[in-house]
Structure 1
Amino acid sequence: MTLGEASLLERLAADEESVRGQLESLREQVAALEERLSDLATARRIVAPMLVGHSRPEQAPSGGTPDAPTHASPEEAVPAPKPVAGLDKQVVVIMASSGRTMRAKEVAQALGEPDVRGRVETTRARLKRLTALGWLTQHEPGLFSIAAGINGHVLGGVANDEA
Protein backbone atom coordinates (compact mmCIF):
# COMPACT_ATOMS: atom_id res chain seq x y z
CA MET A 1 0.00 0.00 0.00
CA THR A 2 1.37 3.40 -0.94
CA LEU A 3 1.57 6.39 1.35
CA GLY A 4 -1.24 8.09 -0.60
CA GLU A 5 -3.53 5.06 -0.25
CA ALA A 6 -2.87 4.84 3.50
CA SER A 7 -3.58 8.56 3.89
CA LEU A 8 -6.85 8.19 1.97
CA LEU A 9 -7.91 5.26 4.16
CA GLU A 10 -7.10 7.26 7.29
CA ARG A 11 -9.18 10.22 6.06
CA LEU A 12 -12.09 7.89 5.22
CA ALA A 13 -11.90 6.29 8.67
CA ALA A 14 -11.83 9.72 10.32
CA ASP A 15 -14.79 10.90 8.23
CA GLU A 16 -16.68 7.71 9.10
CA GLU A 17 -16.07 8.26 12.81
CA SER A 18 -17.18 11.89 12.52
CA VAL A 19 -20.43 10.89 10.83
CA ARG A 20 -21.04 8.23 13.50
CA GLY A 21 -20.66 10.94 16.16
CA GLN A 22 -23.05 13.26 14.32
CA LEU A 23 -25.58 10.42 13.95
CA GLU A 24 -25.44 9.64 17.66
CA SER A 25 -25.95 13.33 18.48
CA LEU A 26 -28.97 13.45 16.16
CA ARG A 27 -30.42 10.32 17.77
CA GLU A 28 -30.12 11.98 21.19
CA GLN A 29 -31.82 15.10 19.84
CA VAL A 30 -34.64 13.00 18.36
CA ALA A 31 -35.12 11.20 21.69
CA ALA A 32 -35.31 14.54 23.51
CA LEU A 33 -37.80 15.88 20.97
CA GLU A 34 -39.95 12.74 21.25
CA GLU A 35 -40.00 13.15 25.02
CA ARG A 36 -40.97 16.82 24.70
CA LEU A 37 -43.70 15.92 22.20
CA SER A 38 -45.01 13.34 24.63
CA ASP A 39 -45.05 15.94 27.42
CA LEU A 40 -46.95 18.38 25.20
CA ALA A 41 -49.48 15.69 24.29
CA THR A 42 -49.99 14.98 27.99
CA ALA A 43 -50.56 18.66 28.70
CA ARG A 44 -53.04 18.90 25.83
CA ARG A 45 -54.85 15.78 27.01
CA ILE A 46 -55.21 17.24 30.50
CA VAL A 47 -56.11 20.82 29.49
CA ALA A 48 -58.43 20.10 26.53
CA PRO A 49 -61.31 18.65 28.60
CA MET A 50 -61.14 21.71 30.86
CA LEU A 51 -61.47 24.06 27.90
CA VAL A 52 -64.19 22.17 26.01
CA GLY A 53 -66.97 23.64 28.15
CA HIS A 54 -65.51 27.16 27.87
CA SER A 55 -64.71 27.42 24.16
CA ARG A 56 -67.04 28.57 21.41
CA PRO A 57 -67.89 25.96 18.73
CA GLU A 58 -65.84 27.73 16.05
CA GLN A 59 -62.74 27.36 18.27
CA ALA A 60 -62.67 23.59 18.09
CA PRO A 61 -59.30 22.04 18.99
CA SER A 62 -57.11 21.17 16.03
CA GLY A 63 -58.05 17.90 14.41
CA GLY A 64 -61.72 18.29 15.32
CA THR A 65 -64.70 19.99 13.76
CA PRO A 66 -67.03 22.40 15.55
CA ASP A 67 -69.84 19.82 15.52
CA ALA A 68 -67.77 16.74 16.40
CA PRO A 69 -66.29 16.10 19.86
CA THR A 70 -62.57 15.48 19.85
CA HIS A 71 -62.47 13.36 23.01
CA ALA A 72 -64.50 10.31 23.95
CA SER A 73 -66.48 10.44 27.16
CA PRO A 74 -65.19 8.27 30.01
CA GLU A 75 -68.06 5.81 29.45
CA GLU A 76 -66.90 5.29 25.84
CA ALA A 77 -63.20 5.03 26.63
CA VAL A 78 -61.38 1.94 25.45
CA PRO A 79 -59.39 0.21 28.20
CA ALA A 80 -55.78 1.31 28.10
CA PRO A 81 -53.24 -1.21 26.87
CA LYS A 82 -50.44 -2.22 29.19
CA PRO A 83 -47.69 0.44 29.38
CA VAL A 84 -44.63 0.01 27.15
CA ALA A 85 -41.24 1.70 27.09
CA GLY A 86 -38.00 1.80 25.15
CA LEU A 87 -37.98 0.20 21.73
CA ASP A 88 -41.61 -0.95 22.12
CA LYS A 89 -42.60 2.69 22.58
CA GLN A 90 -40.63 3.66 19.47
CA VAL A 91 -42.45 0.97 17.49
CA VAL A 92 -45.85 2.25 18.65
CA VAL A 93 -44.89 5.82 17.73
CA ILE A 94 -43.67 4.69 14.29
CA MET A 95 -46.86 2.73 13.68
CA ALA A 96 -49.09 5.58 14.86
CA SER A 97 -47.28 8.23 12.85
CA SER A 98 -47.26 6.16 9.66
CA GLY A 99 -51.05 6.21 9.47
CA ARG A 100 -51.05 2.94 7.54
CA THR A 101 -50.49 -0.77 7.90
CA MET A 102 -46.87 -1.86 7.90
CA ARG A 103 -44.87 -5.05 7.62
CA ALA A 104 -42.12 -6.05 10.04
CA LYS A 105 -39.40 -5.26 7.51
CA GLU A 106 -40.69 -1.68 7.12
CA VAL A 107 -40.81 -1.19 10.88
CA ALA A 108 -37.31 -2.63 11.27
CA GLN A 109 -36.04 -0.19 8.63
CA ALA A 110 -37.79 2.73 10.37
CA LEU A 111 -36.02 1.71 13.59
CA GLY A 112 -32.68 1.79 11.76
CA GLU A 113 -32.16 -1.96 12.06
CA PRO A 114 -29.89 -3.67 9.53
CA ASP A 115 -31.79 -5.36 6.72
CA VAL A 116 -31.06 -8.91 7.84
CA ARG A 117 -33.55 -11.69 8.47
CA GLY A 118 -32.77 -12.01 12.18
CA ARG A 119 -33.51 -8.35 12.92
CA VAL A 120 -36.73 -8.44 10.86
CA GLU A 121 -37.86 -11.56 12.75
CA THR A 122 -37.07 -9.89 16.07
CA THR A 123 -39.17 -6.92 14.97
CA ARG A 124 -41.99 -9.27 13.90
CA ALA A 125 -41.97 -10.86 17.37
CA ARG A 126 -42.10 -7.39 18.91
CA LEU A 127 -45.08 -6.47 16.70
CA LYS A 128 -46.91 -9.63 17.75
CA ARG A 129 -46.19 -8.91 21.42
CA LEU A 130 -47.50 -5.34 21.03
CA THR A 131 -50.60 -6.80 19.36
CA ALA A 132 -51.14 -9.06 22.36
CA LEU A 133 -50.70 -6.05 24.68
CA GLY A 134 -53.39 -4.14 22.78
CA TRP A 135 -51.26 -1.50 21.06
CA LEU A 136 -51.37 -2.92 17.53
CA THR A 137 -53.78 -4.83 15.33
CA GLN A 138 -52.78 -7.56 12.90
CA HIS A 139 -55.07 -7.32 9.87
CA GLU A 140 -53.68 -10.34 8.08
CA PRO A 141 -50.53 -12.35 8.60
CA GLY A 142 -47.59 -9.95 8.63
CA LEU A 143 -49.62 -6.74 8.26
CA PHE A 144 -49.85 -4.55 11.39
CA SER A 145 -51.29 -1.14 12.29
CA ILE A 146 -51.97 0.91 15.40
CA ALA A 147 -55.00 -0.37 17.32
CA ALA A 148 -58.20 1.70 17.33
CA GLY A 149 -58.59 3.98 20.32
CA ILE A 150 -54.88 4.25 21.16
CA ASN A 151 -54.68 8.07 21.00
CA GLY A 152 -54.57 9.50 24.50
CA HIS A 153 -53.61 6.27 26.26
CA VAL A 154 -50.62 6.13 28.52
CA LEU A 155 -47.52 5.08 26.63
CA GLY A 156 -44.62 4.16 28.87
CA GLY A 157 -46.09 6.17 31.72
CA VAL A 158 -46.74 9.28 29.59
CA ALA A 159 -49.83 9.92 27.49
CA ASN A 160 -48.98 10.35 23.87
CA ASP A 161 -51.84 11.57 21.70
CA GLU A 162 -49.68 11.18 18.63
CA ALA A 163 -49.29 7.47 19.29
Structure 2
Amino acid sequence: MDPLLDRIAERRALLAEQAQRLAKELAEVEAELERIATAEQVVAQLLVEADDGPDGADEHHQSRRSPALVVAHRDEAGGVTDLPAEYQRLMQIVTEEGPAGQGVVCKRVTVKLGLTAEPRHTEGVRVKLKRLVARGWLTESAPDRFTVRP
Protein backbone atom coordinates (compact mmCIF):
# COMPACT_ATOMS: atom_id res chain seq x y z
CA MET A 1 0.00 0.00 0.00
CA ASP A 2 1.14 3.53 -0.66
CA PRO A 3 2.59 5.33 2.42
CA LEU A 4 0.40 8.32 1.67
CA LEU A 5 -2.73 6.16 1.78
CA ASP A 6 -1.51 4.64 5.06
CA ARG A 7 -1.14 8.12 6.58
CA ILE A 8 -4.62 9.07 5.37
CA ALA A 9 -6.11 5.90 6.88
CA GLU A 10 -4.33 6.55 10.20
CA ARG A 11 -5.56 10.13 10.23
CA ARG A 12 -9.12 9.02 9.47
CA ALA A 13 -8.99 6.47 12.33
CA LEU A 14 -7.62 9.11 14.70
CA LEU A 15 -10.36 11.58 13.74
CA ALA A 16 -13.07 8.91 14.07
CA GLU A 17 -11.83 8.13 17.60
CA GLN A 18 -11.77 11.82 18.47
CA ALA A 19 -15.32 12.24 17.11
CA GLN A 20 -16.52 9.38 19.32
CA ARG A 21 -14.91 10.94 22.41
CA LEU A 22 -16.43 14.32 21.62
CA ALA A 23 -19.87 12.80 21.00
CA LYS A 24 -19.70 11.07 24.39
CA GLU A 25 -18.61 14.32 26.06
CA LEU A 26 -21.41 16.23 24.32
CA ALA A 27 -23.97 13.69 25.52
CA GLU A 28 -22.68 14.09 29.09
CA VAL A 29 -22.89 17.89 28.89
CA GLU A 30 -26.43 17.74 27.47
CA ALA A 31 -27.48 15.38 30.26
CA GLU A 32 -26.05 17.80 32.83
CA LEU A 33 -27.95 20.67 31.20
CA GLU A 34 -31.17 18.68 31.49
CA ARG A 35 -30.49 17.97 35.19
CA ILE A 36 -29.83 21.65 35.85
CA ALA A 37 -32.99 22.68 33.99
CA THR A 38 -35.01 20.20 36.05
CA ALA A 39 -33.47 21.47 39.28
CA GLU A 40 -34.25 25.04 38.26
CA GLN A 41 -37.89 24.13 37.63
CA VAL A 42 -38.21 22.37 40.99
CA VAL A 43 -36.67 25.29 42.88
CA ALA A 44 -38.86 27.79 41.03
CA GLN A 45 -41.97 25.77 41.90
CA LEU A 46 -40.92 25.53 45.55
CA LEU A 47 -40.45 29.29 45.62
CA VAL A 48 -43.93 29.80 44.16
CA GLU A 49 -45.40 27.48 46.78
CA ALA A 50 -43.48 29.22 49.56
CA ASP A 51 -44.70 32.63 48.34
CA ASP A 52 -48.29 31.38 48.33
CA GLY A 53 -48.23 30.49 52.03
CA PRO A 54 -50.70 31.88 54.59
CA ASP A 55 -51.06 35.67 54.72
CA GLY A 56 -48.45 37.25 56.91
CA ALA A 57 -46.63 34.00 57.62
CA ASP A 58 -43.74 35.01 55.43
CA GLU A 59 -43.46 38.70 56.36
CA HIS A 60 -40.23 38.18 58.28
CA HIS A 61 -38.59 36.59 55.25
CA GLN A 62 -39.92 39.20 52.80
CA SER A 63 -37.41 41.77 54.00
CA ARG A 64 -34.50 39.45 53.11
CA ARG A 65 -35.63 38.85 49.52
CA SER A 66 -34.29 40.82 46.61
CA PRO A 67 -36.79 43.54 45.69
CA ALA A 68 -36.28 42.74 41.98
CA LEU A 69 -37.68 39.26 42.50
CA VAL A 70 -40.82 40.25 44.38
CA VAL A 71 -44.03 40.13 42.38
CA ALA A 72 -46.51 42.33 44.19
CA HIS A 73 -50.16 41.40 44.55
CA ARG A 74 -52.25 43.36 42.09
CA ASP A 75 -54.24 44.96 44.92
CA GLU A 76 -51.03 46.32 46.46
CA ALA A 77 -49.47 47.61 43.23
CA GLY A 78 -50.04 50.87 41.43
CA GLY A 79 -49.98 49.15 38.04
CA VAL A 80 -48.05 46.84 35.77
CA THR A 81 -45.05 49.15 36.02
CA ASP A 82 -44.61 47.99 39.63
CA LEU A 83 -43.74 44.51 38.36
CA PRO A 84 -40.17 43.44 37.54
CA ALA A 85 -39.32 43.93 33.85
CA GLU A 86 -39.59 40.24 32.93
CA TYR A 87 -43.09 40.08 34.41
CA GLN A 88 -44.07 43.30 32.62
CA ARG A 89 -43.02 41.59 29.38
CA LEU A 90 -45.17 38.55 30.26
CA MET A 91 -48.15 40.81 30.90
CA GLN A 92 -47.56 42.58 27.58
CA ILE A 93 -47.43 39.30 25.66
CA VAL A 94 -50.57 37.92 27.31
CA THR A 95 -52.38 41.19 26.57
CA GLU A 96 -51.29 41.30 22.92
CA GLU A 97 -51.44 37.60 22.03
CA GLY A 98 -54.54 36.42 23.87
CA PRO A 99 -57.61 36.72 21.61
CA ALA A 100 -60.41 38.52 23.41
CA GLY A 101 -61.38 36.34 26.35
CA GLN A 102 -59.70 33.20 24.98
CA GLY A 103 -56.26 33.72 26.49
CA VAL A 104 -52.86 32.56 25.35
CA VAL A 105 -51.12 29.24 25.96
CA CYS A 106 -47.80 29.07 27.78
CA LYS A 107 -45.94 27.67 24.77
CA ARG A 108 -46.92 30.73 22.70
CA VAL A 109 -45.68 33.08 25.44
CA THR A 110 -42.41 31.15 25.59
CA VAL A 111 -41.85 31.51 21.85
CA LYS A 112 -42.73 35.23 21.96
CA LEU A 113 -40.03 35.64 24.62
CA GLY A 114 -37.54 34.33 22.08
CA LEU A 115 -37.08 30.95 23.77
CA THR A 116 -37.54 27.54 22.24
CA ALA A 117 -40.72 25.62 23.04
CA GLU A 118 -38.77 22.93 24.89
CA PRO A 119 -40.20 21.81 28.25
CA ARG A 120 -37.26 23.31 30.14
CA HIS A 121 -38.24 26.74 28.83
CA THR A 122 -42.03 26.41 28.89
CA GLU A 123 -42.03 25.16 32.47
CA GLY A 124 -40.03 28.16 33.65
CA VAL A 125 -42.44 30.52 31.88
CA ARG A 126 -45.44 28.56 33.22
CA VAL A 127 -44.16 29.05 36.80
CA LYS A 128 -43.98 32.81 36.23
CA LEU A 129 -47.44 32.93 34.64
CA LYS A 130 -48.89 30.95 37.55
CA ARG A 131 -47.18 33.35 39.95
CA LEU A 132 -48.99 36.20 38.17
CA VAL A 133 -52.25 34.24 38.54
CA ALA A 134 -51.58 33.76 42.27
CA ARG A 135 -50.91 37.49 42.63
CA GLY A 136 -54.13 38.46 40.86
CA TRP A 137 -52.63 39.82 37.63
CA LEU A 138 -53.78 37.00 35.35
CA THR A 139 -56.44 34.31 35.33
CA GLU A 140 -56.06 30.78 34.05
CA SER A 141 -59.28 30.53 32.06
CA ALA A 142 -58.56 26.91 31.09
CA PRO A 143 -55.62 24.64 31.82
CA ASP A 144 -52.52 26.32 30.41
CA ARG A 145 -54.51 29.25 28.98
CA PHE A 146 -53.82 32.64 30.55
CA THR A 147 -55.73 35.91 30.28
CA VAL A 148 -55.31 39.32 31.86
CA ARG A 149 -57.61 39.76 34.81
CA PRO A 150 -60.19 42.45 34.06
Into which bin does the TM-score normalised by the smaller protein fall?
0.3 to 0.5
Q: Which has the higher helix share?
A: 2
Q: Which has the higher contact order (CA 8 A, sep 6+)?
A: 1
Higher Rg: 2
TM-score (norm 1): 0.44
